[in-house]
Amino acid sequence: MQYSVAPFKGVWPQVEESVFLADGVRILGDVIIAQSANIWFNSVVRGDENAIRIGRFTNIQDNTTIHVQDTHSCTVGDYVTVGHNALLHGCRIANNCIIGMGSVIMNGVEIGENCIVGARSLITENKVIPPNSLVVGSPARVIRKLEPEQIEEIRESALHYNKLAIEYINYRKNV
């Protein structure tokens, strides 16, 4: 296991025992990661200038960066899927959302519950996304409300990654 959980200015990250951290992950400073979350290969969660909170059963996929600014903390709710190579900077993402691969979410953005942000979308500073929205583009815009089936699929995505994380945890025990 080659990951790093380190303090910054005397503040240590708090990582629940059930959390899976893949190789190459770096967690620094004022970070709290809740039950059954999973952080995948080479992701960086840098709570050096402000707080970062990651909710239960949330997955942060490979090469994602989560950072903050002195004026903007970052909160990622429960059952959130953050796709590969995303950048979350000083934003708030409510429960049950998918942030597509390669998306950039800037300071002050607030994304409501049950949203899907399409791959490679850019949500510019201080934008508020209402609950149940499908958001795409660069700059991103809401294109429609999600159907109930799509909302259910969001949670299924998070639970899928939780199962995969458990497989990795069990594999590590047997190697």
Structural fold of domain 4-174: UDP N-Acetylglucosamine Acyltransferase; domain 1 (2.160.10)
| Burial per residue of 69-88, b for 16 or more beta-carbon CB atoms within 10 angstroms, e otherwise | eeebbbbbbbbbbbbbbbbb
pLDDT at 174: 85
pLDDT at 175: 79
The pLDDT > 90 percentage for the chain reads 97
Q: Where are the domains of the chain?
A: 4-174
Q: How far is CA 68 from CA 61, 135, 152, 167, in A?
A: 18, 22, 30, 31
pLDDT at 1: 63
Q: How far is CA 90 from CA 47, 49, 174, in A?
A: 10, 10, 38
Give residue-wise pLDDT tens across range 25-39. Answer: 999 999 999 999 999
pLDDT at 128: 99
3 state SS of 171: helix
Residue 64: which region, alpha, beta or left (left: phi > 0; alpha: psi -120 to 50)? beta
C-alpha angle 71/72/75, rounded to 5°?
155
Give residue-wise pLDDT tens across range 100-111. Answer: 999 999 999 999
Query: Which residue stretches of the chain have pLDDT < 70?
Result: 1
